[in-house]
C-alpha cells in the first residue's frame, strides 16, 4: 500500500506541476518552443510535463523555474488557506543524482518573492543546483549534521544550526562530508534585477 500511496503522490505531483507550467506559460503568452529555449528543456519533455505524463527531476524543475523567473515552490505546492508543513508529508523532489530530497514547505502566492524548503542530503554526497536566475538570495541553515557549501571557488563549512546567506546566481554546491544525513532549511528570496 505504501508504494501505491507514493505512486499516487508522484502522479498527483506530476499533474500539478504540468498544469501549473501550462497555466503560467499561457498567462504569459509563451509557446512551448519559447519555453524550451528559455529553460533549456526539450519541447518533448515540456509537453510530457504539461500533460502530467512525466515526473520531472529537481534539475528540470529548477530549469523551468529559472527560465520563468519564479520560485520552484510556485510549481510544486498547491494553494490552501491554512497549511501545516510536516516532515515527510507533501511534495518531494529528488535531485538528478538522488543525493538531495527537497520538500517545499509553503505555497507562495502569485509566483511569489520567497520560498521555504527543507532538504535532506544523503551521507557522503553532493548536490549541485548550479546557479539560479539573477536576484536569488539563498539562506541555508543546517538543522542536523554538517555541510560544506561551495560557492564558485570558495568552501564554507557549517555545523548544526549554522547558517549561510549568499547570492544564488553564483555557481554553488552542497556537500555532505559525513556518514549521516544532513538536514537543511532553505529560505530563498527572489528580486527582479
Model pLDDT for residues 105-144, shown as the tens digit of each residue: 665 544 557 778 889 999 999 999 878 888 888 999 999 9
- Concatenating the DSSP letter of every residue in 60-81 gives HHHHHHHHHT--THHHHPPP-S
Place of cell 504540468: 18
Tell me the average pLDDT of the chain: 83
Residues of the chain with CATH 2.60.120.10: 93-190
List, for residues 80-91, the tens digit of each pLDDT value. 455 556 666 666
Helices (H), the chain: 2-27, 32-39, 43-50, 58-68, 73-76
Amino acid 1: pLDDT: 43
What's the pLDDT band for 59 if we cut at 50, 70, 90? confident
Distance CA 57, CA 141 (A): 24
Amino acid 134: pLDDT: 84
Tell me if the domain spanning 2-56 has CATH number 1.10.260.40.
Answer: yes
Amino acid 7: pLDDT: 54
**Residue 76, Cβ density class (10 Å: 0-12 exposed, 13-18 middle, ≥19 buried):** buried
List, for residues 34-44, the tens digit of each pLDDT value. 999 999 999 99
How many residues are given for the chain? 193
**Residue 188, Cβ density class (10 Å: 0-12 exposed, 13-18 middle, ≥19 buried):** buried
93-190 fold:
Jelly Rolls (2.60.120)
Distance CA 164, CA 37 (A): 33
Share of the chain above pLDDT 70, in %: 83
Residues of the chain with CATH 1.10.260.40: 2-56
Q: Is the pLDDT of residue 193 over 50?
A: no
Amino acid at each position: 500500500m505504501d508504494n501505491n500511496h507514493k505512486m499516487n503522490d508522484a502522479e498527483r505531483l506530476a499533474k500539478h506541476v504540468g498544469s501549473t507550467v501550462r497555466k503560467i506559460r499561457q498567462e504569459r503568452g509563451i509557446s512551448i518552443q519559447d519555453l524550451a529555449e528559455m529553460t533549456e528543456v526539450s519541447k518533448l519533455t515540456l509537453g510530457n510535463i504539461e500533460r502530467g505524463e512525466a515526473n520531472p527531476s529537481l534539475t528540470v524543475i529548477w530549469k523551468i523555474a529559472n527560465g520563468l523567473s519564479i520560485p520552484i515552490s510556485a510549481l510544486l505546492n498547491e494553494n490552501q488557506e491554512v497549511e501545516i508543513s510536516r516532515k515527510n508529508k507533501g511534495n518531494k523532489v529528488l535531485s538528478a543524482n538522488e543525493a538531495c530530497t527537497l520538500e517545499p514547505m509553503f505555497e507562495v502566492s502569485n509566483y511569489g518573492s520567497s520560498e521555504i524548503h527543507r532538504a535532506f542530503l544523503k551521507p557522503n554526497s553532493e548536490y549541485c543546483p548550479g546557479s539560479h536566475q539573477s536576484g536569488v538570495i539563498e539562506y541555508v541553515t543546517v538543522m542536523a549534521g554538517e555541510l560544506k557549501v561551495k560557492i564558485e571557488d570558495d568552501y564554507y563549512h557549517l555545523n548544526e544550526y549554522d547558517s549561510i546567506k549568499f547570492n544564488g546566481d553564483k555557481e554553488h554546491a552542497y556537500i555532505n562530508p559525513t556518514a549521516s544525513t544532513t538536514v537543511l532549511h532553505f529560505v530563498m528570496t527572489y528580486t527582479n534585477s
